[in-house]
Amino acid sequence: MKIVFLGSGNVATHLSQALNHSMSNEVVQVYSPTAENAKTLAGILSCGYCTDINEVDGSADIYVCSVKDSVQQNVWRALKCHFVESGVNVADKIVVHTAGALAMDGENGLSEFFPNCGVVYPVQSFSKQRAVDLSHTPFLIEATIPSTLEKLRSLVATVSDRCYDATTKQRNALHPAAVFASNFANHMYAIANRLMEKNGLPFEILIPLIQETAQKVTEVHPVAAQTGPAVRGDEVVMSKQEKGLMADGYDTELEIYRLVSKNIQTYRDEFQRES
C-alpha cells in the first residue's frame, strides 16, 4: 500500500519506518507543519514531504494521522477540504488515526469526515531516541467497512504478529490501563531515582529489581506477584518508611506512598476472596 503519514512525532517516526521496511508498503510522503521534523523523517524514509496540508499527495491508498489528539480533528477537517477541492473522491481513501483515546464513530469521530476510515493503535511506548521492535507489539484496529478492516489486518501483519479487533469503547478502557502500566510505573521510577540520588546511590542498583518485577507479571497474576510491606501488612516497616519520607520533606511522595499502599491491600483482600 502507498501510505502518507500526517505527523512526525514519536508514533509516526517508529510506525512509518516499520511499515516502510516491509516490501508490501511504501511511505510516499510525510506531512508536518514543522519543516525540520517533516524533512528529518522524510529523509529517513527516503520520501517526499510537505508542510502545507494542501500539498498532501492525493494518490495514496491510506492516510495515517499520527498527531497530537488535540489537533487530530483539525487535520481531518483540513485533509477532507483539500481532497474535495482537489477533486479526490473522499470515499475512496482510507484514513486512519493511531490514537488510543479518540473515537472512530459518533459525534466528532473520524467517520464524520471520512466514511472509509479506521484506527490503528499500537499499544507501546515510543521515544524518538530509542529503537522499538514492533514485531510483537499489540495493535488494536477498527474500521467502518469490513473490507477495510481486512486491509488493516494485512497492513499490521507486515510489522507485527499481534493484531486485535477493538471498539472505541474497548480502546478507551485500555488507554488508562496503559497509562497505569507504563506512564505511572515510569513515574514511580522517577520518584525512586530522586530518593536514590538524594542519598548518594545510583539508580542502576534498582534495575535488576525492576526487570524481575516486569518479568514476573508475564508469568503470574499481578496481584499474586505483589511483594513488599504493604501486601504483607507490615505496619512497622511502613511506619518507618513514612517517617523517612516525612523527615526528608517528601510530602507529595508520602501521600502517594500511603494511597498506593492502601490500594495494594484492597486488591490483596479482593484477590484472596475471589481465589
Residue 252 has pLDDT above 90, yes or no: yes
Classify residue 96 as left (phi > 0), alpha (psi -120 to 50) or beta.
beta
Residue 128 has pLDDT above 80, yes or no: no
- pLDDT at res. 230: 97
Query: What is the rounded average pLDDT of the residues 171-191?
Result: 94
| Domains of the chain by start residue, with CATH | 2-166 (3.40.50.720), 173-274 (1.10.1040.20)
Residue 175 has pLDDT above 90, yes or no: no
The pLDDT tens digits for 91-105 are 999 999 999 888 899
Predicted confidence band at 24 (pLDDT cuts at 50, 70, 90)? confident
- pLDDT at res. 248: 93
Residue 235 has pLDDT above 80, yes or no: yes
Predicted confidence band at 133 (pLDDT cuts at 50, 70, 90)? confident
Query: What is the rounded average pLDDT of the residues 105-123?
Result: 93
The candidate with the shortest Cα–Cα distance to 132, out of 5, 16, 1, is 16
Residue 126 has pLDDT above 90, yes or no: no
The pLDDT tens digits for 151-170 are 999 999 999 999 999 998 99
Return mean pLDDT, the chain.
95
Predicted confidence band at 114 (pLDDT cuts at 50, 70, 90)? very high
Spatial separation of the C-alpha atoms in residues 95 and 79, rounded to whole Å: 10
Residue 190 has pLDDT above 90, yes or no: yes
Query: What is the rounded average pLDDT of the residues 31-53?
Result: 96
Residue 69 has pLDDT above 80, yes or no: yes
Query: What is the rounded average pLDDT of the residues 206-215?
Result: 96
Q: What does pTM read for this prediction?
A: 0.83
Query: What is the rounded average pLDDT of the residues 169-194?
Result: 94
Predicted confidence band at 5 (pLDDT cuts at 50, 70, 90)? very high
Residue 129 has pLDDT above 80, yes or no: no
Residue 253 has pLDDT above 90, yes or no: yes
The candidate with the shortest Cα–Cα distance to 270, out of 216, 236, 221, 209, is 221
- pLDDT at res. 23: 82
- pLDDT at res. 106: 84
Query: What is the rounded average pLDDT of the residues 17-29?
Result: 92
